[in-house]
Amino acid sequence: MTPSTIDLPVRAQDRRIAALAAAAVGLAVAEAAIPLPVPGIKPGLANIVTLIVLYRYGWSAAAWVTALRIVASALLLGTFLTPTFVMSLAGGISSLLVLAALVRLSPAWLGPVGLSVLAAMAHMAAQLGLVATWLMPGTGLWGILPVFLGAAWLTGLVNGLVVAHLTARQHSTRKESPS
């Protein structure tokens, strides 16, 4: 055996993150095929996966799944390193930061719907901020800001209800308190 062999042990956690990221990529690619009336508004179904991972495995696993989803779906959709990819990255980072701040709150006080709506609006605000400062500086975005934030509010609500439904079913089958 050559001494320079690099051994990369694959832990169970790695396989889990890879599988969950694959689910998120599947949702992201599937929703890219849905025709939508306004560019920039989409359901954001992959965030359902992010939130479930956040509840079950913690923030760092959610961050891994999100990062892998952004890069892998960009490679699949051919938008890697384009402005679309940078927008996606900015939205992902800002929503993860919001989730990092909010996940410390008691789950009895703030549930998945609140987390989902706040993360979606942070996502949208970061993207519009990027458009206003980098992509199209000087254009009046104030007029369309409520439309985009309203879309984020609605998709965040729907995704949050889906997450609440899925995690509630999970907790009723597995009687254990979330750490």
Region for residue 40 given its phi and psi (left: phi exceeds 0; alpha: psi -120 to 50; beta: otherwise):
left
Number of residues engaging other proteins in binding (CB under 8 A):
28
Using CB under 8 A, which of 1, 2, 5, 142 touches other proteins? 142
Other C-beta atoms lying within 10 Å of the C-beta of residue 47: 31
- Of 86, 114, 129, 132, the one binding other proteins (CB under 8 A) is 114
Q: How far apart are CA 116 and CA 94, in angstroms?
A: 13
Question: Closest approach of Cβ 117 to other proteins, in Å?
Answer: 5
Among 8, 108, 172, 177, binds other proteins (CB under 8 A): 108
Smallest separation (angstroms) from other proteins to the CB of 104: 13
Give per-residue burial for 65-85: e unless 16+ CB within 10 Å, then b.
bbbbbbbbbbeebebeeeeeb
Least distance in angstroms from the C-beta of 149 to other proteins: 5
- Largest pairwise CA distance in the chain: 66
Pick the closer one to other proteins by CB: 21 or 99: 99
Q: Which residue's CB is nearer to other proteins, number 73 or number 94?
A: 94
Distances (CA, A) of 36 to 31, 48, 140: 10, 19, 22
Site residues (vs other proteins, CB under 8 A): 105, 107-114, 117-118, 121, 136, 139-140, 142-143, 145-146, 149-150, 153, 157, 160-161, 164-165, 168
